Structure 1
Amino acid sequence: MLKRTLALAVGLTLSLSTLLAQAADTLKVSAIPDEAPTELLRKFQPLGSYLEQQLGMKVEFVPVSDYPAVVEALATDRIDMAWLGGFTFVQARLKTGNAIPLVQREQDAQFTSKFITADPNVKSLADLKGKTFAFGSVSSTSGSLMPRYFMLQDGIKPETFFSRVGYSGAHDATVAWVQAGKVDAGVLNASVWEKLVKAGKVDTNKVKVFATTPAYYDYNWTVRGTLDPALAAKIKAAFLALDPANPEQKAILDLQAASRFIETKPENYKGIEEAARAADLLK
């Protein structure tokens, strides 16, 4: 009986060790759900395959239900890396104390948001007084926080300036709301707007951009602070090595709406933290 018990214990230990080893050999990656889940997965798959080749390990995409979920997943080590907006990074950094931003797209150092409308009479934000308006997710940097911050700087408090404020939940949903006439105007990030226009998913004879925000830092790839530093360094090197002169790698960059990736650092997002505190969005 004792031998059987010991054998069972050893077997369980080996099984657990095997599971832990398999988990350690898998890089779990997620992203804020700022677009449809199928679109996020489509964009990630070629990048995931590239990272598998560069890192010599399995890379798994883990979808999340909302913005807070990706922050919680990083904080509890359920994922290793995530594509975050600037505000979501600030939230993750404050919650974990050690989340590390590795890289950003070149344009993320000078990011903007686009205000759109299907009303030909709207030429500026002032023309929207008393009309309906849509942000993206309440946790979105480019679809909510920074546009709101700049509006407040111009003396526009959305909740009193507009007759109704809605939250579509995602940038592509904001465009759909405006195009369908569900709201008079909305705001979304410039990258998604340009992608949707290029893909012919926006009727530009109907929907137009009438204003653009000043520039700010936005998206980045962040890893959990407890990730092996050597692995984090390899991940960063893999992103920085993506070369637009290589056709296969250019296809990966194009799906990420990136000309190339560059290094980033926590200090780049201080302005977003200040905007969030000014909007009373950080406790």
Structure 2
Amino acid sequence: MLSRRMGLLASASLLATPLIQTRGAQAQADWRSRFRELRYGVIGSENERDAIARLQGLSVHAERTLGVPMRIFRGTDYAAVVEALRSEQLEFAHLGPAAYALARRAMGEGVIPLLRHQANDGAEGYYSVIFVKADSPFQSLADLRGRSFAFADPNSASGFAAPGYFMRKEGVDPARHFSRTGFSGNHEQSVIAVLNGTFDAAATFWNNEQSGNIQRMVEKGMIQPGTTRIIWRSPLIPNSPTVTRAGVPEGLRAAFVRMMLNLHVEAPEVLAQISTNTARIVPARHEDYADLIAMTEQNQAQRRNRS
């Protein structure tokens, strides 16, 4: 059941003829009669308390705009959100790029990308970075040979898929280069694990000098500024997609997309709550994630070959 794997958060032109107008109104009425409540899932990249605060505004705005309540669910891990979507316990979900690749493996064309964020500087992507404690002696990947390393989640793009793939392209096989690797559970836990000395280094997401997981943790008072240092950065990763499942009616899908595309105009305060680094929401396509899907498939093949 959804409640067991996901933590609940509190949550155009004029129509040509009267006949078309009637059909359009009927379609709207149909989806609202079928969906007395909408369910939106998010991956657990941060702690539950902060996710509740960050997404509460979207829940309120969605009910006001769409005319039905929208409840927000946070996954206990990335795969939980994909499973909830596959089992039709969600209508919409915000996935990481690698979690989208997992959804495509599980659902095929039954999962449909709709939207992604565009940053304040116009970028539609972000980076994986490897970081260490600021006062550590490590300056490069070579310095981390024989040391311990934390990934975030096996279905995280910046926390596992991208660093593993690009490190191997640089001739660094994580399974052999590090003395020990493990999964922290999420991006915030990776930072805490490095600062506590549980791991010597870890991977997380980074947008620019002003925005990323580490900067967000500083802003929230979870860590002190200047306590970490980045020693490696990946090529650009496409921003995380917001998706739906194929069974969601077109009328509902169109209404949701229209609401999200207009957030920067109609509810900029809600958009700012979701992400301070997002200028607007823009459309996404499956093709945007083709390279990332190939990357995750290669990572999975590497893991199978070692098991």
TM normalised by structure 2 equals 0.79
Deviations 1:262-281 (A, max 9, x none): 11011111011110111125
Q: Which residue of 2 aligns with 1:111?
A: 126
| Distance in 2 (alpha carbons) for counterparts of 1:149 and 1:277 | 10
Is 1:99 aligned to 2:111, yes or no? yes
Matched residue count: 261
Larger-gyration structure (1/2) = 1
| SS at 1:63 equivalent | strand
Does the 8 Å contact 2:32/2:68 carry over to 1?
A: no
Determine which of 252, 257, 272 is the counterpart of 2:270.
252
> Which amino acid is 1:99 matched to?
V
Deviation at 1:202, TM superposition (A): 2.5
1:199 & 1:38 partners in 2: Cα distance?
Answer: 12
The match for 2:299 is 279
The question of whether the paired residues in 2 share the 8 Å contact of 1:179 and 1:203 is answered with: no
CA-CA distance at 1:113 after TM superposition: 1.5
Question: 2:197 is matched by which residue type in structure 1?
Answer: G
Counting only pairs closer than 5 Å after superposition, residues 58-207 of structure 1 correspond to structure 2 as 58-97=69-108, 98-107=110-119, 109-118=124-133, 119-190=135-206, 191-207=212-228
Q: Which amino acid aligns with 1:115?
A: I
1:39 positional shift: 2.0
Unmatched tracts of structure 2, length 5 or more: 1-30, 207-211
Give the counterpart of 2:263 among 231, 242, 257: 242
Compare 192-201 and 218-227 and name the one that shifted more: 192-201
Q: What CA distance in whole angstroms lies between the structure 1 residues aligned with 2:272 and 2:198?
A: 31
Secondary structure at the residue paired with 1:260? strand
Instruction: Give the aligned CA root-mean-square deviation in angstroms.
Output: 2.1
**Correspondent of 1:265 among 275, 282, 285:** 285
Question: CA offset at residue 74 of structure 1?
Answer: 0.8
Q: Which has the higher strand share?
A: 2
Q: Write the distance in 2 (CA, Å) between the matches of 1:145 and 1:49.
A: 34
Q: What amino acid is aligned across from residue 251 of structure 1 in structure 2?
A: E
TM-score by length of 1: 0.86
Give the C-alpha shift of residue 218 in structure 1: 3.4
- The question of whether the paired residues in 1 share the 8 Å contact of 2:101 and 2:296 is answered with no
Deviations 1:16-74 (A, max 9, x none): xxxx9876121111111122122222211111111111111110123332222211111
Unmatched tracts of structure 1, length 5 or more? 1-19
**Residue in structure 1 matched with residue 242 of structure 2 by the alignment:** 221
SS in 1 for 2:131: strand
Matched residue type, 1:62: F
C-alpha separation between the residues in 2 aligned to 1:61 and 1:198? 24
Moved over 6 A (4+): 20-23
Note the C-alpha offset of 1:176: 0.4
37-46 vs 151-160, which moves further: 37-46
Please say which of residues 51-60 and 35-44 is displaced more in the overlay: 35-44
| TM-aligned CA deviation for residue 193 of structure 1 | 2.2
* Worse-matched range after superposition: 143-152 or 93-102: 93-102
2:179 partner letter? S
